[in-house]
Amino acid sequence: MRDTPGSLMLFAAGFGTRMRPLTDDRPKPMVEVAGRPLIDHALDQTAQIAPDRIVVNLHYKPEPLLKHLAGTGVQTLLETPDILDTGGGLRNALPRLGTAPVFTLNTDAIWIGPSPIAMLREAWRPEIMDALLVCVPLQNTHSHGGQGDFEIDPQGRLIRGRAHVYGGAQILKTDRLDEITEEKFSLNRLWDLMLAKGRIYGLEYPGHWCDVGQPDSIDVAENLLAGQDV
């Protein structure tokens, strides 16, 4: 198995419950911010690395996404009959993604600053890392209603804490997914295995990040993109 990631997984299967009523007739990645669907903003972040392949998982109201991505070269993978959550969805996509470490990216955030995917590629050190997560200082997040997820120790390793929010971009090795027996599970399960070995690292994002999870957050994201204070 090679150590450098070549494939990228975009998570786009969720129900978008908090984004209703905008998701009554479309999946959340097709909700528009500044005139463009969220999925396109996510794909912008991949432009600098030119991955070998991009795979998008679909479940809820997949037709608009299938139509939008047709002809782009992005591979789509329908999760059926059930949605598999992030960990199960990633494992389900491995035949498409290959055995090397993979980039993963959520499709419900706006990044103001450098490409988190390009930052990950530059900082990846497979000899010491099983995963590298882009984490945003809590004070630089917008429309994020919760607390932080992690803290970054002086060596760059992650521990559970409240100072940083996981921004939804990472590189991770996938071999330990086989240790999880459930079909549907969160990537938190895999992270916990890596945390126990001290093999999960964090990369602090230098810009701003907006969680576009509900209708009110669209205005916040658009103001950030326009360079306005929020």
1 located within any domain: no
pLDDT band, very low/low/confident/very high, at 147 (cuts 50, 70, 90): confident
**Residue 30, in any domain of the structure:** yes
Residue 96 lies in a domain: yes
Domain count, the chain: 1
Task: Give the tens place of pLDDT for each residue, 94-117.
Answer: 999 999 999 999 999 999 999 999
Residue 144 C-alpha from the chain's centroid = 15
Residue 161 included in any domain: yes
CA 89 – CA 215 distance, rounded (Å): 26
Mean pLDDT of the chain: 94
Q: Which domain holds residue 219?
A: 7-225
In sequence order, which residues have a C-beta less than 8 Å from that of residue 155 and are 6 or more positions away?
Answer: none
* pLDDT for the residue numbered 229: 54
CATH of the domain at 189: 3.90.550.10
Q: What is the structure's pLDDT at 227?
A: 87
2 is a domain residue: no
Flag whether 216 is in a domain.
Answer: yes
Contacts of 202 (CB under 8 A, 6+ apart): 132, 133, 134, 135, 150, 152, 156, 157, 158, 164
Confidence band of 1 (pLDDT split at 50, 70, 90): very low
Residue 69 domain-assigned (yes or no)? yes
Label residue 3 by pLDDT band (50, 70, 90): confident
71 occurs within a structural domain: yes
**pTM, full prediction:** 0.94
